[in-house]
Chains A and B, each alone.
Chain A
Amino acid sequence: MQRRLITTSASETYELGRRMGGNLEPGDILALFGELGSGKTCFTQGLCAGLGIPRKRVISPTYAFVHEYEGRLPVLHLDLYRIDNLEDALDLDVMEYLSRGEGGIVVIEWADRIMPLLDEDTIQVIFNVVTSRKREILVSGREGALDRLVPGEHARG
């Protein structure tokens, strides 16, 4: 299942994240895909805001690889930009982070690096740059998760 959304500014991408964040449940894993500047970190800031985590706490983990936040649920914010392949990701103990997320939320930026580690319960969010401000955001996952996270948004087979 996939749903297609359009945002026309960074603040709309943030707002979309915030709405979804309000409906996250323990164990949700979100894998984010998209090129540089497509809105992944901005969306994650919104997602965390929806969990009651101040925007200022949430910054890009590109260097640190992982940031941890405490909100309504704990959040592990991973960023695999500096990871080149699956082996390096395993060196970073990415499996442990995925399993530690059971009682909370895991958000993974640049998740393409670890595709083989993601299962069908993962919520995949793809950010496509349409114009300098406009983004097409494709959310896919199990129907129940989509109904919970993006209720009332356009459905697309």
Chain B
Amino acid sequence: MLVLGIETSCDETSAALVSGGDVLSNIIASQVDLHAKYGGVVPEIAARKHVEAIGYVVEEALDASSKSLSEVEGVAVTSKYGLVGPLVIGVAAAKALAYAFQVPITGIHHIEGHIFAGMLSNPQMPFPHLCLTVSGGHTMLVYVKGPCRYEVLGQTLDDAAGEAFDKIAKFLGLGFPGGPVIDRLARQGDRAAFDFPRPLKGRKNPDFSFSGLKTSVVNRFKGRERSGMPLADIVASFQEAVVDHLVSKTLQAASQRQVAHISVTGGVAINSRLREVFTEECARGRYRVYFTMPSLCGDNAAMIAAAGAARIGLGDVAGMDLNVDPSGQLESL
């Protein structure tokens, strides 16, 4: 089934075409020069920026895959979890297209999209599996029993992991976004230089917390001259604490649930140290780990289209009254 996916839950305007597990196109407005081609604008958080971009982005997704709208067999749109204004724009566009071409439409939870990015990247990954999805906006551990069947085992109690990366990078004057710059700089640093706290250690619940870790870094180096700080050592030690926390909680849950397959997805899944430690620890514990391909780690519409294909296939079709739910929970079918 050829599915058009639309994602506008926060700062990205994205449209994609996915067919039978193949990504035919996956256009993210901030990553392409729409301005050069269409005179469009790079979207931001403002709903009106999404309005300006959405038409061009859908057009580009069709263009890049050499498909026409009349060939689209279903429309999937992020309708849950995100900012109300931008979500409304995506849902309105999706409804208009589904109505005009008389094809089924389904609403997707943003985090379900990230879970599907893992499956789209690794089609051989079996059920059940454990999915760690971790980005700037969320950090969640989900037991994926089957297609669209979930049990949320744990999530962050305060900040998201990606948010902690960004805030520490900004605090240290390294710029934004913080993930890539910390990843790069940390390779030159000593991971054991500073003993930052490992949050929620000893707790049985696989929940996450990054606020205390962030505060501990800030308290330790506040007021110090940046030139005198061992920046590489600080970020290497900080990153090690984040990675250790993510990996140990995930493996703890994998052991409790006796699942052998672990999916790591979301924007932070790009981090090279996270991939390295997961690979080492999973080899040691006889788990199989699957990473989402980098192009599907950040927010994108291909993952929404993939989730939509599964939901429409299982009969989960919405009506023209599909509405947005900014704080909606991840729901199973």
Contacts and interface: CB of A to CB of B under 8 A. Distances in A.
Interface of A: 10, 35-37, 41-42, 45, 55-56, 59-60, 62-69, 81, 88, 91-93, 129, 132
Contact of A41 (B48, B136, B158, B166): B158
Nearest to B211: A41
B327 interface: yes
Interface string B48-87: 1100000000000000000000000000000000111100
A42 B211 contact: yes
B119 interface: no
Contacts, number: 82
Contacts of B163: 60, 62-63
Given A36-B218, A68-B326, 6 more contacts: A35-B218, A63-B136, A64-B137, A66-B326, A88-B45, A92-B83
Contacts of B171: 36
A14 B75 CA distance: 44
A37 B214 CA distance: 7
B47 A132 contact: no
Given A36-B171, A37-B218, A37-B219, A62 B83 contact: no
B179 to A, nearest CB: 12
A108 B53 CA distance: 29
A81 B138 CA distance: 16
A56 B10 contact: no
A99 to B, nearest CB: 14
Nearest to B220: A132
Given A92-B46, A93-B47, A64 B214 contact: no
Indicate the size class of the contact surface on chain B.
Answer: 35 or more
Contacts of A66: 83-84, 326
23 contacts: A36-B171, A36-B214, A37-B218, A37-B219, A41-B211, A42-B211, A45-B158, A60-B160, A62-B160, A63-B10, A63-B137, A64-B82, A64-B83, A64-B326, A65-B83, A68-B326, A88-B45, A91-B44, A91-B45, A91-B49, A92-B45, A93-B47, A132-B216
Contact of B327 (A10, A67, A132): A67
A122 to B, nearest CB: 23
B215 interface: yes
Nearest to B49: A91
A37 B83 contact: no
* Top-5 shortest CB links A-B: A37-B215, A63-B137, A91-B46, A132-B219, A37-B218
A93 B137 contact: no
A67 B217 CA distance: 26
B158 to A, nearest CB: 6
Contacts of B190: none
Interface string B210-226: 01101110110010000
B156 interface: yes
Interface in B74-121: 82-85
Nearest to B215: A37
B160 to A, nearest CB: 6
B5 interface: no
A31 to B, nearest CB: 20
B45 A56 contact: no
Contacts of A10: 212
Contacts of A132: 215-216, 219
Interface string B10-53: 10000000000000000000000000000000001111110000
B244 interface: no
B157 A36 contact: no
A55 B167 contact: no
B327 A60 contact: no
Contacts of B222: 129
B281 interface: no
Nearest to A55: B157
Nearest to A68: B327
B247 to A, nearest CB: 21
A56 B157 contact: yes
A67 B163 CA distance: 15
